[in-house]
Structure 1
Amino acid sequence: MTHLLQLDASARPGLAGTDEHGSLSRRLTHRFVTAWQTRQPDTTLTHRDVGGAPPAFIDQRWIEAAFTPAERQQPWMAEVLAESDQLIDELIATDILVIGAPLYNFGMPAALKAWVDQVVRMGRTVDYDETRPDDPFTPLLAERPRHAVILSSRGGAGFGPGGAPAGLNHLGPRLDTPLEVIGITRIHRIAVEHQEEGGERLAASIREAEQRVDAVAAELQSSFSAEATPKAISA
């Protein structure tokens, strides 16, 4: 049975095309999850709306608790780290991480960065070895294949690889890096552009993105089905 974790980071609560001022990134995450569940009804889903209910920002107490060795932990530290533990447990249980991430001012929404800061944690999702300066990080979520599907929306155009303003798109690298550090290296990216322009260019971009969403969902389901199929033993 496959488990999906759907993260929606848009500040817009509804779905574009359905709700007034709805979110394009939420429209894409909804489409991916619906497509997956249609083909695989026994899929389990955790939906976390970080755009509507952002995780807490880390602070001095969080840092002290997270970097205190287990044998020296104080009772208050468990409470401080409770949200982080819950978010990490959700991530550990996940096979497919579906992230709806609009491009805000050339980067990720603050609510999504707060989630990243809560889940990238020494001893739980990554270890660090200072004696290996060239490769100090050991991902702790690499024990089995996990995929991330990053579904984005952009006001302008050309922010993808090869586009003139691609260097201004800091959402991809700022999200890819922490995911890869903790062990999620199979990353798929789809984006809608022309949101500010609207009209036919936006409509065409939405159609293309939705077709790619359907294709990626089908491709990943096929790969998961193949991995789950018992291999024949030859005599």
Structure 2
Amino acid sequence: MSTRALLVTSSVLGENGQSIALANHFESRAAARDSVTVTKRDVVANALPHLDIAELGAWQTPADKRSDEQKALAAQSDNLLEELRASDVLVIAVPMYNLGIPSQLKAWFDRVLRAGETFRYTENGPKGLIEGKRAIILAARGGMYAGTEMDSQTPHLKSMLGLMGITDVEVVYAEGLNMGEAQRDAALKEAFQAIDQLVEAL
């Protein structure tokens, strides 16, 4: 049985981005395994606008009562949700921009974090509706942040995934990439090895 991976990339540097190098390594290793198929979603090349009231209103309007404009707006999110639901593993390749995630990736999360679709509110708080999936975060950073108070990115990503019900999350860090060639090469080598092990386990 094939494992379906959704690979989401978010580097504004395109193929020059270090997070793209991590994503490409994952994809190439997955391609070598007949049991893994990869669907790619580049949220920079296919950027989404910031969420606004018109799109939010389209979601909240019953499907049979939506205008043509609302149907088109709702389809943006619906298509991304269909892509997510069809996957077994969500792989997010993410650079760190100003201690956070790229705004393009936040725009993607804003479309897949939908009340009534991927989570619902209960008297005990929100409950995730996406079950049986796991996530792999491939994090590329210029400095050293993992495990420090400066790393607000990892908790943010885990919280958003957890809101949907995805709590099985592995993080591969490639850090210190702007701190000299030796540090960069060592960090990438270690990250590639970690990715190899994760792909082997898929």
Normalised by the shorter chain, which TM-score bucket? over 0.9
Give 5+ residue unaligned stretches, structure 1: 15-21, 222-235
What is the CA–CA distance in structure 2 between the aligned matches of 1:25 and 1:190, rounded to whole Å?
Answer: 11
Partner of 2:79: 86
What is the CA–CA distance in structure 2 between the aligned matches of 1:199 and 1:105, rounded to whole Å?
Answer: 22
Shift of 1:72: 7.6
8 A Cα contact 1:65 1:77, kept in partner: yes
- The one-letter code of the counterpart of 1:120 is L
Instruction: Describe the SS at the equivalent of 1:118.
Output: helix
8 A Cα contact 1:67 1:122, kept in partner: no
Instruction: Describe the SS at the equivalent of 1:55.
Output: coil
8 A Cα contact 2:94 2:137, kept in partner: yes
State whether structure 2 residue 39 is matched by structure 1 residue 35. no
Count of aligned pairs between the two proteins: 200
Shift of 1:71: 7.3
State whether structure 2 residue 191 is matched by structure 1 residue 209. yes
Instruction: Describe the SS at the equivalent of 1:31.
Output: helix
What is the CA–CA distance in structure 2 between the aligned matches of 1:204 and 1:83, rounded to whole Å?
Answer: 40
What is the CA–CA distance in structure 2 between the aligned matches of 1:45 and 1:36, rounded to whole Å?
Answer: 7
8 A Cα contact 2:30 2:38, kept in partner: no
Shift of 1:23: 1.3
Shift of 1:196: 1.7
8 A Cα contact 2:63 2:71, kept in partner: no
What is the CA–CA distance in structure 2 between the aligned matches of 1:71 and 1:115, rounded to whole Å?
Answer: 21
Change (3 A) 1:71 1:156: closer
Q: Higher mean Cα deviation, 50-59 or 105-114?
A: 50-59
Partner of 1:136: 125
State whether structure 2 residue 142 is matched by structure 1 residue 160. no
Q: Please tell me the root mean square deviation across aligned C-alpha atoms, in Å.
A: 1.6
What is the CA–CA distance in structure 2 between the aligned matches of 1:118 and 1:24, rounded to whole Å?
Answer: 25
8 A Cα contact 1:148 1:184, kept in partner: yes
What is the CA–CA distance in structure 2 between the aligned matches of 1:43 and 1:207, rounded to whole Å?
Answer: 23
Instruction: Describe the SS at the equivalent of 2:45.
Output: coil
Partner of 1:148: 135
- The one-letter code of the counterpart of 2:85 is I
What is the CA–CA distance in structure 1 between the aligned matches of 2:154 and 2:60, rounded to whole Å?
Answer: 28
Normalising by structure 1, report the TM-score: 0.80
8 A Cα contact 1:65 1:73, kept in partner: no
Shift of 1:136: 2.0
Listed one character per residue, the Cα deviations across residues 119-168 of structure 1 (whole Å, up to 9, x for unaligned) are 10112111113xx1xx32121111xx2111100111111x112xxxx211
State whether structure 2 residue 63 is matched by structure 1 residue 77. no
8 A Cα contact 2:130 2:165, kept in partner: yes
State whether structure 2 residue 13 is matched by structure 1 residue 12. yes
State whether structure 2 residue 175 is matched by structure 1 residue 193. yes
Normalising by structure 2, report the TM-score: 0.93
- The one-letter code of the counterpart of 2:136 is V
What is the CA–CA distance in structure 2 between the aligned matches of 1:95 and 1:71, rounded to whole Å?
Answer: 27
- The one-letter code of the counterpart of 2:66 is Q
8 A Cα contact 1:5 1:46, kept in partner: yes
**Bigger Cα Rg:** 1
- The one-letter code of the counterpart of 1:13 is G
Give 5+ residue unaligned stretches, structure 2: none
